[in-house]
Amino acid sequence: MLHKRKPNVYDFPNYIFCLNNEVETLNYITICAAFEAEWKDIEALTEETAWNTLILEAKSRISPFSISRIIFGRDRNSRVSVRLNIVKGLISQEVVDKLNEFFPSYRDTKATITAIF
């Protein structure tokens, strides 16, 4: 990505933060071990932000851990898929539908999604 944007600055297309000589792509950024700690921070901040946007009624129906599970899924493949969506500024309809199950109104879901994405 950097090589495509600034070829006069970046001589090669490989990801500069990783020693695996991988070509830098959005997909690779979501799985690269060099950024795993940052992704964990992003996930924690997303969970906290989502929790802080909830009204009291919604907080009584769901836990912060459950919000994280709804947004990021239960397994690594789900997390990677959501990470890619985050980089692109997207959210899946499945996540929206799951949030709607817990929140008292669509307005609460929209406010939460707006805050975290």
Q: Please tell me the predicted confidence (pLDDT) of residue 6.
A: 56
Handedness of CA 35, 37, 40, 45 (dihedral sign): negative
Task: Give 79's contacts (C-beta < 8 A, 6+ positions apart).
Answer: 39, 43, 72, 73
Q: Which of 97, 99, 95 is nearest to 61 (CA)?
A: 99
Mean pLDDT, 10 residues at a time, over the chain (117 residues)? 55 64 77 88 91 83 87 91 89 90 83 84
Q: Please tell me the predicted confidence (pLDDT) of residue 108.
A: 82
Q: Please tell me the predicted confidence (pLDDT) of residue 9.
A: 56
Task: Give 35's contacts (C-beta < 8 A, 6+ positions apart).
Answer: 17, 29
Q: Please tell me the predicted confidence (pLDDT) of residue 16.
A: 66
The pair of structure tokens assigned to 36 is: 């795993």
Q: Please tell me the predicted confidence (pLDDT) of residue 44.
A: 92
pTM (predicted TM-score): 0.75
Q: Please tell me the predicted confidence (pLDDT) of residue 65.
A: 87
Segments making up each domain of the chain, as ranges: 35-116
